[in-house]
Chains A and B, each alone.
Chain A
Amino acid sequence: MSALSADPAPAPAPSPAVAAAPVRSRRARWYRQPTLLTGLVLLVIILFMCYAAPLLTSFNPNTQNLEEPLLGLGQMGHLLGTDQEGRDTWARLLYGGQVDLRIAVIAVILPFILGIIVGSLAGYFGGWVDAIIMRIVDIVVAFPFFVLVIALVFVLGTGGKSIYIAITAVGWVSYARITRGEITVAKRQEYVLAAQSGGLSSVRIITRHLLPNVITQSVVYAMSDIVQDILAIVTLSYLGLGVQPPTADWGTMISAGQNFLTTQWWLTTIPGIAVVITGLALSLIGDGLADLLRTGTS
């Protein structure tokens, strides 16, 4: 893709009817956005390290070796030592990242879809549909995000599935609000009236005409939302409500390493740094994307 857009092929002679194409030039410049680029590079490195874990370590993240607990950095071939049960910290860090990133992605896609469906219905139809949906949104928004998620996971039980349900049940409201607002504005555009005059169904108008025009805001928001989701997942695991042992995950690693903070600080600090770097990468992507898409729409 970058080869395609980086190649400044001689532009064909502009025909009089064809105006300048800002979309093209905007797409061609995505790689010049330093924030976006830094974020993408970081994320690619993180993803590579997590998913190429078998290449980067020969240890199994869950194999206990009670004869070698709490080894120091680099001892006995363990790059980051071992934890209290003799498991290789480096391997757990990499495999744990897989778990956290996978849960985070699913936990951002589900509320994204739900919120956009609900928000478009509220925005497009207005009236009592809008009133009811937006009151429900108000109720959910009234609770702090973490409080509600933790309470829901408590009720639903621990594990990945509960995290998806809890984050979806709380997270959809932001997407619903964004989409509803955007559609309320966009539906007054003449092209919507034109689509209605063409006898298109409401579903078709929403999905084919309105959503492609308004979805970018939600995509940008999703990028910052995923940071919050990773933090939520790590927090839940830290509290023992999320990913369950023996599966490795950054939250449980931080929590387990806490007891050895004075002697084996890296057991807690390294997974913490991993969370921070991942969050940073995704935030940079979100910011860069927002800049890129906003300049395009203005």
Chain B
Amino acid sequence: MSGGAQQIDWAVVTPPLVMACTAVVVLLVDAFAGGPRTRGQALVPAALTVAGVVATSVYTVWALARDVTQGQVRQTFCVDSALNGPAPCSFAVDQVTLVFWAIVLFGALVVALLGTAAVAEGRTPQGEWHFLLLSSATGAMVMAASRDLITLVVALEVVSLPAFGMVGLRLGDRRASEASMKFFLVSVVSSAVTLMGISFVYGATGSVFLSQIDVALTTGSGPREVAVIGVVLTIVGLAFKVAAVPFHMWVPDTYVGAPIAVAAYLSVVSKAAGFVGLLLVLAYGLPDLASAWSPVVGVLAALTMTVGNVVALWQQHAVRLLAWSSVAQAGYILVPFGAVAAASREEMSSVLSRSAGYLAMYAVVNLCAFGVATVVGTRYPAQRLVDYRGLVREEPLAGWGLAFALVALAGLPPGVIGLLAKVVVFSSAAGPATWLAIVMAVNVAIGLVYYARWLMELFRPAETAGASTYDVPNGVGAAVGMTLTAAVVFSVVPGLLLDPVLAALAP
């Protein structure tokens, strides 16, 4: 590599930098302002976080969106090529990156708003919590832009490490600490496995840059068997992150132990980071080995959705049910990965874009469901399903929000966006992996049972009819309103969400 000064395209790295700087500002403001004396002061970190996320989004749209959506790829941190071909770069913003940035930023915004539910309780240090949230989101953004394995692993760690803190930050909550510890141990193991896999891939191909790995494998220089072992190990490591069966054991306990806002974060942003990792490694770096990894991921997908749905059938605890449902949903998202064994490169990108499309839908409606769980949690910390009885009458926004989120997760009208996202995923598997599509069809029916059970509770008359006794924090109300509005709008005009996302990978 050449040692000269590098040209850095600052416009490309600014969005994650803004997030990181906001994180530092939040921490410093909190540290120097002293303890909050009023409820309004306690909301300052959340407000700063929201401002940071909004600023990042605005900047991204202003500086990058136009170029990138026209098909340009903005790259930086490039090295002079030792091999032939174009200079490999570590950091690139293309349409896929933008899609995942949008998911991460939207998720971080909603989670920051949901976090305000903890203010009233006063047990969670707000400054630190929002610092960790922003740091982790920064990691997720870097991850979506990383184009070499080292950056990718570092970004993965930046996503995970603050998340442990967020899970266990509530003072004096022993279950949260236990959840945090469990999550930490699993995550560390999975990182180690990923690293191992990556080092195999590096050993087999002689490069850490995804583009050069691809070149090395296509030209056949390097032992493929070693690379295959590396791929399998990398998949295992990332499967922990996306909570695919059999690497899902940590999910229910961690979600239940953590504050609900953090569970929402783990189920959407952290999961999205895992998926983008899989997408980058498999589709950008190793498309040549698709015949090896696609069947593996296909089996993982089938297992994940089946186990997730079947176990969710017995759940009586709302967050635990959402945890298992998110396991099952991860299975649906993985389906397109299992259907590209024999695909050409163009087909592969177009098929894998279906995953991103489903993930985008899932992010919106799942955040909505977690938002309503936060509302109900303010009155019923036990989160039993029967606590949701009569919610539609008592708290119509929350009740209808959850009802809509549940039918969308189940994939039925009026949640048309959920239904079409399922169609999109089905369409990737029908043909190349029809067995997987049939497994998924059966799973959709199983999933419906528990979503319907919960739905029924919402519409049953409340035990004690009367005025609502919910005290919904404004931030949580805004989060539910935002996600519900998005879900409804996307259901009426599904192209608004699915067309750009699906076009991103298939130009």
Partners in one complex: no
